[in-house]
Amino acid sequence: MVKCSHLIKLYPGSGEPDRLYLLCCMPLKLILIFILICILMQSHLLYATPDHKENLRELRNRIQVLQKDLSRKEESKLEAADALRESERAISNANRKLTELTREKRRIEVNLKRLQAKHKRVKTSINVAQKQLDKLLYQQYLGGQQKYLRLLLNQQDPNQIARNIHYYKHLSLARSENIRTLRINQKKLEILTRTSRKQMDQLTAIQTEYSKQTEKLAQEKTKRQMVLSQISEKIIQQRQEINKLKHDEKRIANLVEQINKLLAKRNITPPLYNNKLPNTSKEKQSFASLKGRLYLPVRGELVSRFGSPRSGKHITWNGLFIRSPSGNDIKAIADGRIVFADWLRGFGNLMIVDHGNGYMSLYGNNETLYKQVGDIIRGGDIIAAAGNSGGNLDSGLYFELRHKGKPFDPLTWIKIE
């Protein structure tokens, strides 16, 4: 056992008798612990030098500079998101205009065919009237005015004279009627010709407008891709700056833990695919009575579920995300009224349907919105086209169900087939 005097030599105190007495009376383990604490305290004081404080101050200043730079990039990202909103609104409007122009073109083509058929009938009537008039004129030419007078003067039989007068009067009336009919039909033909020409001009104008809208749509899509590239580049720059600050072991551990939880959840939950869409065959019913009989609005793979954690964020999903190719039809799950149809940050082109009694369905990340606020729809009506608006990387549909403003799990109401 080590003597107390040796310990006093190893660690000389202040010379005060009370402290020496305490050291001498302490057990060996407690004395060793006491010495270790003293050494650690001296080490702490040794490193708490002015140079260390200066280094800490410089590190904090560097972090502040990086945070300011990150704030500027966040502002740039918001500006790019605003540009993306305008671009995606323009794409939605252009698609809606193309749909309207196509419908108008079909209507004019139907009218044009009807006018052409009527034009053909009128022309046939004119030809018949022309032939009848030619026949009457030929008969009158053969008879001649002098022969008409001779028939009247040379006839001895009064009955024969009356018959001849009646015949020539009938011939004259028939000629006049045919001339009148011919003029009326010719006038109709002129009107129909002008109408047909006007319809053709309208059709040509619509086709020109169609081409302009198509070109505008292509330009807007190109503009959108440029905006998305800008956002992606700024996001990459942000991550690079943030990575310079991610040297804290605790933050790395938290990140690894989150990734492991996410991977574990993905391994546990198999992917679901939806192939069944809503239809309009059901009779009108209250939304609450449709629980368990509804279908998802789009065909695709269910990749995110209600309540699951969102990647890289400390928040959970309030709905479902269904991965689906861009342009796929989005159908309303039930009857209702459109109460919102516009671009909203985080949701892109968003449509909200009010089903009554506080129930609403939300459809986000659409490429095109086909309906407008106030439109009455039925379950199964096509209301939008799937896309990745709002800066989403995957193409598809974000879908929510809410009751009195609060989101709930759609899978408790939806059948997936």
Read off the CATH number of the domain in which 326 is found.
2.70.70.10
273 phi, psi to nearest 5 deg? -120, 135
Same domain, 367 and 327: yes
Q: What are the backbone dihedrals phi and psi of residue 390, each rounded to the nearest 5 degrees, phi first?
A: 85, 10
**Nearest CA among 363, 337, 338 for reference residue 350:** 363
Nearest to 227 by CA among 111, 375, 319, 343: 343
- d(CA 53, CA 62) in angstroms, rounded, equals 14
Q: Which residue has the higher pLDDT, 355 or 119?
A: 355
Q: Which residues contact 329 (CB under 8 A, 6 or more apart)?
A: 277, 298, 382, 385, 386
Rounded Cα distance between 242 and 295, Å, is 42
In a domain, 53, yes or no: no
Structure tokens at 162: 């009356």
Q: Does 250 fall in a domain? A: no
Report if residue 260 sits inside a domain.
no
Q: Are residues 44 and 73 in the same domain?
A: no
Q: Is residue 100 part of a domain?
A: yes
Length in residues, the chain: 417
At 204, the pLDDT band (50, 70, 90 cuts) reads confident
Is residue 233 located within the same domain as residue 275?
no
Residue 205 sits in a domain of what CATH number? Answer: 1.10.287
| 190 and 117 assigned to the same domain | yes
73-75-77 Cα angle (round to 5): 70
Quick one: which of 12, 88, 173 has its CA closest to 387? 88
Report pLDDT digits (tens) over 312-349.
556 788 899 999 999 999 999 999 999 999 998 888 99
Mean pLDDT across 342-362:
91
Mean residue pLDDT across the chain: 72
Do 36 and 94 lie in one domain? The reply is: no
DSSP state of 290: G
Same domain, residue pair 207 and 89: yes
**Alpha carbon distance 116, 124 (integer Å):** 12
213 & 284 share domain: no
Q: Is 342 buried (19+), middle (13-18) or exposed (0-12) by CB count in 10 A?
A: middle
Would the pLDDT of 8 be above 50? no
275 and 138 within one domain = no
pLDDT, tens digit (0-9, with 9 covering 90-100), for 79-109 = 777 777 787 787 788 788 778 877 877 887 7
104 in a structural domain: yes
Domain span at residue 275? Answer: 271-415
330: helix, strand or coil: strand
The 10s digit of each residue's pLDDT in 17-39 is: 444 444 444 455 455 555 545 54
282 and 406 housed in the same domain: yes
Total tally of structural domains belonging to the chain: 3
The CA distance from 366 to 382, in Å, is 12
Q: What DSSP letter does each residue of 60-116 carry, written as one string?
A: HHHHHHHHHHHHHHHHHHHHHHHHHHHHHHHHHHHHHHHHHHHHHHHHHHHHHHHHH
Q: Is 36 exposed, middle or buried (0-12, 13-18, 19+ CB in 10 A)?
A: exposed
Residues 176 and 94 in one domain: yes
Percentage of the chain with pLDDT > 90? 22
Q: Are residues 86 and 198 in the same domain?
A: yes
Q: Are residues 164 and 18 both part of a single domain? A: no
At 210-221, the pLDDT tens digits run 778 778 877 877
Residue 339's nearest CA partner among 363, 320, 317, 322 is 363
Report pLDDT for 21. 40
In whole angstroms, give the CA distance from residue 379 to residue 372: 16
Token reading at 279: 């239809």
Q: What is the model's pTM?
A: 0.49
At 43 the pLDDT is: 43
Residue 76, in any domain of the structure: yes
Q: At residue 364, what is the residue type?
A: G
Inside any domain, residue 56: no
Centroid of chain to Cα 198: 37
For residues 254 and 246, give the distance between their C-alpha atoms in angstroms, rounded to a whole number: 11
**How much is the average pLDDT of 30-54?**
48
Whether residue 416 contacts residue 274, with contact meaning beta carbons closer than 8 Å, is answered with yes
